[in-house]
Structure 1
Amino acid sequence: MLGKKKPVRSLRATHADPEPMMDINTTPLIDVMLVLLVMLIITIPIQLHAVNLELPVGQPPKSDIKPEKIQIDIDERSTVYWQGLPVTAAELDQKMSELSAQGLQPEIHLRPNKDCQYSVFANVLSTTKRKGLNKVAVIGSEQFVQ
């Protein structure tokens, strides 16, 4: 019996305690994150890619009178032409005042050259707005597309 040793029993083996877990339980964390994600999705407002317009209701009044068409051109040297004749800023302002005094508002066709100064173009547009002329069309805008 001298050569044989008794087996040593550890204290752990005698107690039936389970091993402590060293990993964190991530299941509740994932559940909370999913709940927060669902709440976020529900509370975000829907983005509409639409422009709200207030359109008139009913039939437009029929008119046999066609409005006058005024052609305003701006050339590459930023000279403003009224119906083909060059005008100054003061003359342009006076002519637009006369147009705004008319009962039937004319259509203004504005045709700028792509090489003209933007300030001249913006001045013509602001003059039409200031005088209350609403029927303005920019003609030839396809030349600005690159």
Structure 2
Amino acid sequence: MAMGSLSDDDDFNPEINTTPLVDVMLVLLIIFIMTIPVINHAVKLDLPRATSQPNDTKPETINLSIDAQGQVFWNNELMDETQLATRIADAAKVTPQPELHLRADRITPYEKVAQVMSAAQTGGLTKMGFVTEIPK
């Protein structure tokens, strides 16, 4: 007779006895039920009441548009490259720093868009986004 054989004359039972496991789980359940009120125990205080307004300052939005001919508009005002660089440098000094919304015509040369983006980065503006239209 070898240990672990499944012959009919052995007393070996291959089924797992789950009774001790159930007993341990019930004891753990009782312990957790008893500790929950201790965890939620807090000191009751009557705190003073006050109202305040949050001081959230929204950053300014700059609409920078580039038309099909490569002309740059700062909030609908035509700019040349030197004026654009000056405006970008002034805007970069403002706190909180304004957001630059870049709009470019569909047939605008990519080179002009890249030049404007480079000017914004060189001038110190860090918040820039592209404005597009939803296809119909």
* TM-score, structure 1 as length reference: 0.52
Aligned to 1:83: 75
3-state secondary structure, aligned to 2:69:
coil
Residue 118 of structure 1: which of 87, 100, 110 is its match? 110
Q: Does 1:103 align with 2:95?
A: yes
1:4-40 Cα offsets, whole Å, 9 max, x none, are xxxxxxxxxxxxxxxxxxxxxxxxxxxxxxxxxxxxx
Question: Which one of 73, 80, 83 corresponds to residue 65 of structure 2?
Answer: 73
Residue identity in the other structure for 1:78: G
Displacement of 1:63: 5.3
Secondary structure of the corresponding residue to residue 96 of structure 2: coil
CA deviations 1:23-72 (Å, max 9, x no partner) are xxxxxxxxxxxxxxxxxxxxxxxxxxxxxxxxxxxxxxx75100000000
* Aligned with residue 133 of structure 1, among 125, 130, 133: 125
Hey, what's the Cα distance between the residues in 1 that align with 2:134 and 2:114?
18
In structure 2, C-alpha distance between the alignment counterparts of 1:110 and 1:121, rounded to whole Å: 9
Q: Tell me by how many angstroms 1:141 deviates.
A: 6.8
**What corresponds to 2:34 in structure 1?**
none
- Asked if the contact 2:88/2:124 (under 8 Å) is kept, the reply is no
Equivalenced residue count is 82
What secondary structure sits across from 2:121 in the alignment? helix
Query: Deviation at 1:103?
Result: 2.2
What RMSD, in angstroms, separates the aligned Cα atoms of the two structures? 1.7
Q: Which amino acid aligns with 2:95?
A: G
